[in-house]
Amino acid sequence: MARNVLESSLLGAGFSIIFQILCRILTFGINAYIVRHVGREVLGIMNVRLLLLESTLLFLSREAINRAALSANAQQRDKCPWGQLINQMWLTVPICLVLCAPCLYIWLNWLSAVDEPFTQQYEFGCYAVALSCVLELLAESSVFVAQVFCFVKLKIVLNTLHILVRSAIFLWIVMGNRQAAIYAFAIAQLASAVTIVLGQYGFFYFYIKRFKIFREKSISQQKKSTSSSGSKTLISSWELSLFKHMDDFPFAKLTDFLPGFLTQSHEKYLNRELQTLTLSFVKQGILKQILTEGEKYVMSVSPVLSFGEQATYDVVNNLGSLAARFIFRPIEDSSYFYFTQTVSRDTRLAKQPVERVRQASNVLNNLLLGVSSIGLLAFTFGQSYSHTVLLLYGGEDFVSGGLPQSLLQWHCLAIYLLAINGISEGYMFATNTSRDIDKYNYLMAIFSISFLVLSYILTGIFGPVGFIFANCINMASRILYSTHYIRQQYQPLGLNPLQGLWPGKLFGGALICAGAVCYWYQSSSLGLHLGIGLVAGLICLLFWAFAHWDLVRLAWIYGRRIKIE
């Protein structure tokens, strides 16, 4: 396709980070309100049990299909035409419907029961969440098209609208009746799913309509330009910027997003190679879901923690995962898309274009450098400011006992490992062949079982902190495997993108000094403690920028280019 994948990936990551921060501030504000006024048990039911149901259904229904379809890039489009890709994306809906039955039965009958006052609300919440997942997947084909054609702003706007609608409806109901918080959560989930569907298809309805007008203007302008040299321009600059990369846009009407409408008579309904790759990702996706949400599954299946303790762990986990949600996840998504479009799965790097391989190595090196630096910053300052953050968030009652502070301090170590694992493993998944993915699935099975066993054992010994210990051990093991894969790939070419894992002595020394100063003054007044941390953080960033000035200058150049375009 006529587009710059790297710049589109950078633009997507940048917009995602900005809007994620704005929207997550609202979400965390709502959670703080629930902790202070509604109760931790309600928060545990909503944020642990019900959101786990949503995560399970959506991840198992679409993750493998989406990753496999993204791998059918522009160079492979002749082998997997758009009709088969659209049909592939619509498989998510029946898969989700099939998964709803066993998941609802498990959530309503097998998992630890909720207290009597919340039973009816909890049952309604389970059914509403399952229905919202099915509704959201009705727009999956249009979401995929928007991703492939780099409609970055559409994704950001709709994600923002989705969160705003969900938050507004939830607050509107809860402000009127605090006892109906779970009902409010369920209704808000349904409304936000409808918003996604209407927003996606509404955008493409008007886009296709406008695209037809643009094509007519283009043809008319070409005819006039051949007959007279001084013809007036029919196409506006806005239209040119909106449609300049759409020469191969295959959708002429909104029904083309439905299954079967783009499939030619000589084509099969589904692509066999794509199905093979999808099955590989299915095995991997189940294991990855266990690893991602393993602690919540352990909490839900066994009575290790009460709903109040689950809420405390979830609040601390969410606060500790701010960097992962705001920064790491958008970068991981954009980098995965970039690597799938740049590096071929089935060809050794030595036989691929040298410039593209070198660019991919540089991008991977810079990504590892950026996320590892952020992780080290979080670990350093998290040791001194965990109590302060939790005090401001939940109040004196929330931080009493010291458990939340200990959880957040150890979670800062997990942030550093999470940062590295997301990029290194994402690159591996983006460049692995189907055979390599199947091999890794066996190792992922070992990781998953070990993680669940470690979570149960360590939680019994250390309490909720045991979940974090188990997660750190698991991520460290996965990092070792993925970095070994990257080293083997690039070593024959004389390239080493893993150099980005260590941000340099200058930045490391600044972090050690800053951490020691902040820890020494943590018992001082709140204002002084925050001021020292702000100054120390700025100094660390200045040292990092000085040590990696070439990367700062490169980011500035890309930022200017994207702004101009």
Residue that terminates a domain, selected from 260, 277, 303: 303
Q: Specify whether the CB–CB gap between 373 and 503 falls below 8 A.
A: yes
List the single range of 63-67, 83-87, 208-212 with lowest mean pLDDT. Answer: 208-212
**How many degrees, rounded to 5, is the angle at CA 374 between CA 372 and CA 379?**
95
User: Both 404 and 294 in a single domain?
Assistant: no
For residue 494, count other CB atoms closer than 10 A to its CB: 7
Q: Is residue 542 part of a domain?
A: no
| pLDDT at 394 exceeding the cut of 80 | no
Q: Is residue 217 part of a domain?
A: yes
User: Both 277 and 296 in a single domain?
Assistant: yes
Q: Considering the chain, what percentage of its residues have pLDDT values greater than 70? A: 85
User: Both 336 and 269 in a single domain?
Assistant: no
Q: Domain tally for the chain?
A: 2
CA distance 141 to 86: 6
| pLDDT at 565 exceeding the cut of 70 | no
Q: Specify whether the CB–CB gap between 248 and 69 falls below 8 A.
A: no
Residue 206: Cβ-neighbour burial (10 angstroms; 0-12, 13-18, 19+): exposed
Write down the pLDDT at residue 247. Answer: 56
Among the listed residues 145, 151, 155, 154, the one whose alpha carbon sits nearest the alpha carbon of residue 72: 145
CA distance 47 to 103: 17
Backbone phi and psi for residue 343, each to the nearest 5 degrees, phi listed first: -110, 130
Residue that terminates a domain, selected from 265, 287, 303: 303
Q: Is residue 357 part of a domain?
A: yes
Q: Is residue 115 part of a domain?
A: yes
User: Both 204 and 315 in a single domain?
Assistant: no
Q: Is residue 371 part of a domain?
A: yes
User: Both 284 and 423 in a single domain?
Assistant: no
What does the pLDDT look like over 244-287, one tens digit per residue? 555 567 888 899 999 988 777 667 788 888 888 888 888 777 87
Q: Specify whether the CB–CB gap between 4 and 565 falls below 8 A.
A: no
What does the pLDDT look like over 462-512, one tens digit per residue? 878 888 999 899 999 999 999 999 999 888 888 889 998 988 889 999 999
Write down the pLDDT at residue 372. Answer: 92
User: Both 329 and 266 in a single domain?
Assistant: no
Within 72-91, where are the H helices? 82-90
User: Both 266 and 297 in a single domain?
Assistant: yes
CA distance 85 to 93: 14
User: Both 227 and 350 in a single domain?
Assistant: no
User: Both 193 and 115 in a single domain?
Assistant: yes
User: Both 240 and 351 in a single domain?
Assistant: no
Residues 6 or more apart from 560 whose CB is under 8 A from it?
none
What does the pLDDT look like over 349-385, one tens digit per residue? 888 888 888 988 998 999 999 999 999 999 999 999 9
What does the pLDDT look like over 41-70, one tens digit per residue? 888 899 899 999 999 999 999 999 998 888
Domain membership of residue 378 as a residue range: 310-503+548-565
Q: Is residue 276 part of a domain?
A: yes
CA distance 378 to 372: 10
Q: Is residue 519 part of a domain?
A: no
CA distance 370 to 503: 8
CA distance 208 to 400: 57
User: Both 370 and 259 in a single domain?
Assistant: no
**How many degrees, rounded to 5, is the angle at CA 89 between CA 86 and CA 94?**
125
Record the tokens describing residue 30, joined without a space. 């709502």
Record the tokens describing residue 361, joined without a space. 């190595």
Question: Average of pLDDT values for 393-421?
Answer: 85
Q: Is residue 535 part of a domain?
A: no
Q: How confident is the model at residue 242 (pLDDT cuts 50, 70, 90)?
A: low
Within 302-402, where are the H helices? 307-320, 322-323, 329-342, 354-394, 396-399
User: Both 216 and 339 in a single domain?
Assistant: no
CA-to-CA separations, 82 to 118, 264, 343, 558, in angstroms, rounded: 47, 10, 21, 31
CA-to-CA separations, 437 to 77, 89, 430, 535, in angstroms, rounded: 22, 21, 10, 46
Record the tokens describing residue 242, joined without a space. 């909106």
CA distance 11 to 14: 5
Residue that terminates a domain, selected from 270, 303, 336: 303
| pLDDT at 2 exceeding the cut of 50 | no
Q: Specify whether the CB–CB gap between 238 and 189 falls below 8 A.
A: no
